[in-house]
Amino acid sequence: MTDEQKLAKFEARILAGEKIEPKDWMPEAYSKTLLRQMSQHAHSEVIGMQPESNWVLRAPSLRAKKILLAKIQDEGGHGLYLYSAAETFGIDRAEMIEQLQTGKAKYSSVFNYPTLNWADIGAIGWLVDGAAIVNQTMLAKCSYGPYSRAMIRICKEEGFHQRQGYEIMAKMMTGTAAQKEMAQDAMNRWWWPALMMFGPHDAESVHTSESMRWKIKVESNDKLRQRFVNRTVEQAHHIGLTVPDANLKYNKETMNWEFSEINWDEFWAVVKGNGPCNHQRMAHHIKYHNEGAWVREAAIAYENKLQQKQKTTV
């Protein structure tokens, strides 16, 4: 078969709704895009542990502490799961981590914002995991089998995170004046970064059209963002939080909540490395990765010695 025939067959399979598996033929651009996206997704899960771990030691109750720790553990587990899904492209985790640390691979920009009060933990669960669910529910329908399956599994846990985050906000909104202030402050700081998670407008997104044809993406950024806004605005109002957007209004005809233009200068500044925590997040990752080097070396040395022993005793 010529490459053109292979491509035609590949596209026909996708059109028919079949999943592509690692051993199947696929165009290079397909595997390249997916690897980029999946490793970025894995890195996001791992880097996302940092802003949340910032409050683990200060969680205000035993219950809150356990829920937060378990959530962060879930995110790390998502990272592990996605790294192995990305490894189906023949790259190993160590190489992906190197790409992250040299800036060749990216992670979600939303984690370049700081967690400044306890309500930020609520806001992350509710808004950031909430936005992630909308995106990942879409990705569960993507054409690449290992990614699609990873998303189905991960989405279930994200649902818990979202509800637990919302619960933190709801509780604080029925609490003291100081608690309400913290919750609104967190809302004000996380609302826009959460909307930015869906990426640029469709017209400006470089990867969109090919990704849509190959079902790497099955819905557009703007459509997903609108779905998230519609869902979230009512949840905010329900507990008395104000959405920090003076132009927010409900359109009865389209049944959409219309919102202001995103500050794209800020969006691109953070993507390009100039967000409040870009440097901190990467420095943290590199520091602890390097400090753990002797542990990894010792584990390998021990394994080698064990194998040697087995050889000599056989």
Q: In the complex, which residues of this chain contact another protein (CB under 8 A)?
A: 46, 49-50, 53, 56-66, 69-70, 72-73, 76-77, 79-80, 83, 118, 168, 171-172, 175-176, 178-179, 284, 288, 291-299, 301-302, 305
Contact window for Fe ion (CB under 5 A) among 3-11, 72-80, 171-179, 248-256: 72-80
Binding mask 27-56 for Fe ion (x = CB under 5 A): ------------------x-----------
Which partner, another protein, Fe ion, none, binds residue 129 by CB below 5 to 8 Å per kind?
Fe ion
State in angstroms the smallest separation of the CB of 18 from Fe ion. Answer: 27
State in angstroms the smallest separation of the CB of 80 from another protein. Answer: 6
State in angstroms the smallest separation of the CB of 175 from Fe ion. Answer: 24
- Give burial (CB, 10 Å; 0-12/13-18/19+) of 241: buried
Tokens (6 digits) for 186: 């967190």
Looking from the CA of 32 toward its CB, the CA atoms found within 13 Å total: 5
**Interatomic CA distance for residues 59 and 118, integer angstroms:** 7
Residue with tokens 């021990």: 302
State in angstroms the smallest separation of the CB of 81 from another protein. Answer: 11
Tokens (6 digits) for 90: 């023949």
State in angstroms the smallest separation of the CB of 313 from Fe ion. Answer: 44
The residue among 89 and 160 lying less far from Fe ion, judged by its C-beta, is 160
Task: Spell 274-307 as b/e; 16+ CB within 10 A means b.
Answer: ebebbeebbeebeeeeeeeeeeeeeeeeeeeeee
DSSP 144: B
With CA atoms as reference, report the closest residue to 102 among 286, 304, 280. Answer: 286
The residue among 171 and 207 lying less far from another protein, judged by its C-beta, is 171
